[in-house]
Amino acid sequence: MGMMRKVGDRGFTFSELMVVVFIIALFAVVLVPVCGNAIASAWDMKCKSNLRLMAQTCIQYAMHHDHFPWGERKVEGYTSYCWDFRKREGETRYEPGEMWEGVEVGEVVQCPACRKAYDNWDGNAFTGYNYNCAYLGFVEGTRCRRNAPARFFDLQDPSEVALFGDGGYAGGPNKFMRAPKASREYDYSATNLREAGTQAFRHRGHTNVAFCDGHVEGIIQPYTAAGNAGWVSGPARTGFLSQDNTKYGAGHLPDTASTIP
């Protein structure tokens, strides 16, 4: 009898192999965007959780001290003394900043969607978020009539005032949030400095913002320094939160900036 060939012994034909390859490719086309969206959603949730915890910590600090934390100030023995971290002279290790009052914070001040390994201050390893230093906190030496952070109990409508957010400008992350228009009372810095304090819209087109009542929002619409809708730095996709300073504190604090007693 002639040799009989079992069906199971037959190898793939070229056509059958191409069908299998096509099916695998089809699955990849379908699954890769789904996985990408899932990762982006997880980053977004983690970012909002970080901002919520930061806001709660800052509010507790502000209520206890009657004023918001400093954005940055000069303190003897430190090369940097900021809201998020501080570093002693001659050391490379970062310590928790003034707002955290000695509590280790780890990745809480690191936005998971921010791909830079540093921000724009003293080689800081913590990056991704900025603090409202236009109206609430204060960076020592900023041009304006005040000389210290705003007093907490002067603040009206805290749910309308930005506290922290996804920081970013053309050069990368930033840590000091600025309002779009100069204010003699609160922040009279030059336009280029304010444009360095914009928000990054890195979460699938929106930016996350924590407000002074502790709630967090995703905001889609960016504004330019002149107040018109649009990007401040095109490819970097950065912009302000409002066309004027209302989201930052204008109209929610006294016209004459109070100082710490």
Any domain includes 90: no
Any domain includes 185: yes
Which regions of the chain are under pLDDT 50? 1-2, 5, 7, 34
How many domains are there within the chain? 1
- How far from 98 is each of 7, 81, 88, 137, 226, CA to CA, in Å? 75, 7, 13, 11, 33
Q: What's the pLDDT tens digit per position in 52-100? A: 999 999 999 999 999 999 999 999 999 889 998 888 998 888 888 888 8
- Cβ pair 142, 187 in contact under 8 A: yes
Domain span at 37: 16-66+103-248
Q: In the numeric block, which tokens belong to residue 23?
A: 């099916």
Which helix (H) or strand (E) element contains residue 115? none
Q: How far apart are CA 215 and CA 209, in angstroms?
A: 8
- Farthest CA pair distance, the chain: 108
Q: In the numeric block, which tokens belong to residue 21?
A: 């390859």
Q: In the numeric block, which tokens belong to residue 126?
A: 């913590």
**How many alpha carbons lie under 13 Å from residue 251 in its C-beta half-sphere?**
10
Q: Which of 100, 124, 143, 119 is nearest to 200 (CA)?
A: 119
Task: Give the ranges where 154-217 is alpha helix by DSSP (H).
Answer: 191-195
Any domain includes 20: yes
Any domain includes 76: no
Q: What pLDDT sits at residue 94? A: 83
Any domain includes 82: no
Q: Is 251 helix (H, G, I), strand (E, B) or coil?
A: coil
**Prediction pTM value:** 0.83
Any domain includes 2: no
Q: Which of 197, 216, 218 is nearest to 207 (CA)?
A: 218
Any domain includes 258: no
Q: In the numeric block, which tokens belong to residue 119?
A: 């921000």
Q: Which of 157, 215, 207, 147 is nearest to 177 (CA)?
A: 207
Any domain includes 93: no
For the chain, the distance separating the N- and C-terminal CA atoms, rounded to the nearest angstrom, is: 108
